[in-house]
């Protein structure tokens, strides 16, 4: 009977400490979940930025090659053929059209 009274006395005296600990544990759990979510978002964004960087570096390399090739006659002819559709002398240009037939 004495231990039962003692435990009730301790609980009645210090019940607020248990509540504070419980609230603290809840807040800590929420903070950890929020931090983990932020880490996932940051990791995903980092991967996207790395992909964009890789594409930008490839485009930069292509542009540098085009700049360095501007004095090459074969390059100029290729650009004229691709971009403007110019055909060299002696060659025939064939143009295909898409016709929808029923």
* Model pLDDT for residues 32-70, shown as the tens digit of each residue: 999 999 999 999 999 999 999 999 999 999 888 888 877
Residue 91 covered by a domain? no
Count of structural domains within the chain? 1
Residue 41 covered by a domain? yes
**Structural domain containing residue 31:** 2-84
Residue 102 has pLDDT above 60, yes or no: no
Residues 6+ apart with CB under 8 A from 66: 75
pLDDT band of 11, cuts 50, 70, 90: confident
Residue 94 covered by a domain? no
Question: What's the pLDDT score for residue 101?
Answer: 60
Question: What's the pLDDT score for residue 39?
Answer: 97
Mean pLDDT for 78-88 is 79
d(CA 57, CA 35): 32
Residue 19 covered by a domain? yes
The beta-strand segments (E) located in the chain are none
Question: What's the pLDDT score for residue 79?
Answer: 78
pLDDT band of 74, cuts 50, 70, 90: confident
Residue 98 covered by a domain? no
With 0-12 / 13-18 / 19 or more C-beta atoms within 10 angstroms meaning exposed / middle / buried, residue 19 is: exposed
Question: What's the pLDDT score for residue 3?
Answer: 65
């Amino acid at each position: 009977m004495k231990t039962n009274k003692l435990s009730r006395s301790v609980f009645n005296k210090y019940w607020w400490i248990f509540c504070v600990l419980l609230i603290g544990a809840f807040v800590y759990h929420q903070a950890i979940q929020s931090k983990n979510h932020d880490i996932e978002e940051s990791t995903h964004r980092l991967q996207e930025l790395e992909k964009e960087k890789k594409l930008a570096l490839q485009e930069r390399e292509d542009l540098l090659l085009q700049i360095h090739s501007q004095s090459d006659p074969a390059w100029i002819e290729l650009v004229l053929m691709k971009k403007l559709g110019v055909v060299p002398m002696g060659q025939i240009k064939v143009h295909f059209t898409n016709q929808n037939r029923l």
